[in-house]
Chain A
Amino acid sequence: MSTTDEDRRREAALDACIDAARDSAPVPSAALLARVLDAAEAEQDRIAARHAAVPRAPRAGLWARLRQGLGGYPALAGLAAAGVAGIWIGMALPALLPGTLPGDYVVDVAPDLALDTGGDF
């Protein structure tokens, strides 16, 4: 028998043993599966307990969060004043807008800017 034949036979014998080993893989017992699952569920409970134990600051109300978001009471006061002023200007001064009085004119402070060349004035 040649060395090559012998090698081939050895390989075939090894493959037969590997196939047999694959087919005879140990099957976990019901007891092992139960122990593994018990540990899994216990760990899930621990994870949930850890999440529940993390202290959380009480959630502020909508008004408080809005106030904080805008910068507190001073910012709110300024905002309110600006709003009132805007309303007053809108109601009291439309007659003073350019083009509403005879002989009014517009001073172009930056005549080179393209913005001005296409304007509606």
Chain B
Amino acid sequence: MTMPLDAHDDRSDDALLAAFARGDRAAARALTLRLTPRVLAHAARLLGNRAEAEDVAQEALLRLWRQAPHWRAGEARVTTWLYRVVANLCIDRQRRARGGAVALDAVPEPPDPAPDVPAQMQARARADALQAALGALPERQRQAVVLRHIEDCTNPEIAEIMDTTVEAVESLTTRGRRALATALAARKEDLGHVDD
């Protein structure tokens, strides 16, 4: 099966979803290309596991397709709805998987950086360290931090996704950031953050 990777479409998510429900194949392609990367990335951040994140992304988008005929434009943003579905699917998986979040100690240490290590390796190490630290956060702190600092959602959007108040979101992100900073500070030598 081939899919044109340049299936760009300027229509809004709402408009594409309405067209999708009318059987528009181009809308199906455009939504697939637009939303799959975001959904996959979000699931990967919450789960720390690529294979499971793919399963979650596929399931979340299937639910969106089924919702399309009933979608009421303007009531909620498609991405907000999807982030909420992804979070619920991730939480279900983690609760089923006994033990939930991956402990920081269980994640392999990044390779020792030599002074001449390529920048990509350092970036990889930092990204892996952040993922490991995220995995050690409580579920809701992790979700709030990922939505705020990686997906760039606003606090009101996060509050809607997490079904809570803006104040609660601020508290979750503040505590989450502090915990992440503490976890990463312990590995500053590995990650190339040297004191001036």
* CB-nearest residue of chain B to A41: B28
User: Main secondary structure on chain B at its contact with chain A?
Assistant: helix
- Chain B residues near A10 (CB-CB < 8 A): 181-182, 184-185
- Chain B, range 141-186, C-beta contacts under 8 Å to A: 149-150, 177, 180-182, 184-185
Check B3 against A34 for contact (C-beta < 8 Å).
Answer: yes
Do most interface residues of chain A lie in helix, strand or loop, or is the interface mixed? helix
Which B residues are in CB contact (< 8 Å) with A68?
Answer: none
A83 to chain B, nearest CB (A): 47
Question: Closest Cβ of chain B: how far from A5's Cβ, in Å?
Answer: 9
Q: Is the CB of A23 within 8 A of B195?
A: no
Tell me if B181 and A13 are in contact (CB < 8 A): yes
What are 14 A-B interface contacts by the 8 Å CB criterion?
A10-B182, A13-B188, A18-B130, A18-B150, A21-B127, A23-B123, A26-B41, A28-B37, A29-B54, A32-B36, A36-B57, A39-B58, A40-B65, A43-B62
B: residues with CB less than 8 A from A are: 1, 3, 20-21, 23, 25, 28-29, 31-33, 36-37, 40-41, 44-45, 50, 53-54, 57-58, 61-62, 65-66, 68-69, 122-124, 126-127, 129-131, 133, 149-150, 177, 180-182, 184-185, 188, 191, 193, 195
- Extra contacts besides A20-B124, A21-B127, A26-B44 (9): CB < 8 Å: A11-B177, A11-B181, A13-B185, A14-B177, A20-B122, A21-B150, A27-B37, A33-B33, A40-B65
